[in-house]
Amino acid sequence: MKALDGEVAVEVAMAVDPHRSIDRKMSNLLKSSRQRLWPVGSAIALLLSAFVVPQLRLGMASDVVTYAVAVLGLNLFVGYTGQISLGHGAFIGLGAYTTVILSADHHWPLVATVPASALLAFAVGVIIGVPSLRIRGLYLALLTLGLGAAFGPIVKRLDHLTGGTNGKGSHATVVAPTWFGESRIATARWSYLTIALIAAIMFALARNLVNGRVGRALAAIRENDLSAVTFGVSVNRYKVAMFGVSAAVAAVAGSMFMIQHPYALDSNYSQQLSIVLYTAAFIGGVGTIWGSVVGGAVIVSVPFAFEKLGFSLDPNLVYGFALVAITLFAPDGIAGSVRALRVRRRAR
């Protein structure tokens, strides 16, 4: 009877003001269209930027895009499951070394190594994720910190594969098609276009993941494990899977670094990289997809800006002050604060 009364009430409301129902439907339709077109437009703009970015800034633009994917990998684990990881630099290094070894020793094309890096890192992430279910908080942070600390010694021990302390390089390059041009500028732009395309795919997959049923389950886990279990969410399965997915995305970023500079050195993937990624995730906005883009831009632009201005400050010092400021005045990060501001404006 109550349901019937509700239906009658809706019919009466539509009869009194039929335009209200039509306006609401049109508003929902426009909102849904914007949500669908926004990622497509962003991907197109990212790819078109390959023809707009000046030649001298192609390397910097590639670094921004690559670091954005690296921060995305960490953000998927930290921001959407509420876990802590201080060892994601190791997964980036795993992807980088996978690309270099496959391209240098087995003559794989650089782009073909990207899925291999992702699959290997996913397997390693799942293997590490299973025992991590027994711990959380500070102890999980220590576990991942130990993972990052162990990466360097493992690379040195496997010197017949990795080159040890000397690193390992590859002469493979991403060759532009003949219709794209044969100059060095064309090759650089094609490399950036390849990196941008990989990044667009990763962000599209991540957005679909967090905006669907998986994202709702992760949000429940992040808020409260016990509550998520009562709603039928397999907490352990999701945590392990997201550890693997996060590691895979980070490894893809490592392969993207090698597409631009195919030389892997263990010191580039130390614990400092993990901390910088963590800082960038919080500055950009933990738990937001586009916060990863902001974080990647901050990582690359801050040292560049200080170099241009002639300051000799250590970028890590700037990152530290920025992290303190974000924590005190904008705990949701830059992207999160912008999103909250838009929500408040719509509510008025």
pLDDT at 180: 61
The CA-atom distances, in angstroms, between 55 and each of 115, 127, 150, 185, 188 are: 29, 42, 38, 7, 8
Percentage of the chain beyond pLDDT 70 is 83
pLDDT at 220: 85
Each residue of 256-309: pLDDT tens digit? 999 988 999 998 998 889 888 988 998 888 888 888 999 999 888 887 877 777
Give CA–CA dist 83/238, Å, rounded: 12
Is residue 174 within 8 A of residue 110, CB to CB? The reply is yes
Q: How many residues does the chain have?
A: 348
Continuous segment of H or E residues that includes residue 169:
strand 168-169
Name the band, by pLDDT with cuts 50, 70 and 90, for residue 37: low
> Which residues lie below 8 Å from residue 256, measured CB to CB, with a gap of 6+?
62, 65, 66, 69, 114, 195, 198, 199
**Position 222: which residue type?**
R
Q: Is the dihedral of CA 278, 279, 285, 289 positive or negative?
A: negative
Question: 22-31, 144-153, 328-337 — which is least confidently predicted?
Answer: 22-31
State mean pLDDT over 169-196: 77
Cα torsion 327, 328, 331, 337 to 10°: value is: -130
Q: What is the token pair recorded at 79? A: 């921001």
Of 23-27, 64-68, 104-108, 310-314, minimum mean pLDDT range: 23-27
Burial class of residue 235 in the structure, from the number of CB atoms within 10 Å of its CB (0-12 exposed, 13-18 middle, 19+ buried) = middle
Query: What pLDDT digit, counting tens, does each position of 209-249 carry?
Result: 888 888 888 888 887 777 788 778 888 888 899 999 999 99
Instruction: Give the closest residue to 66 by CA, choosing from 187, 175, 168, 196.
Output: 196
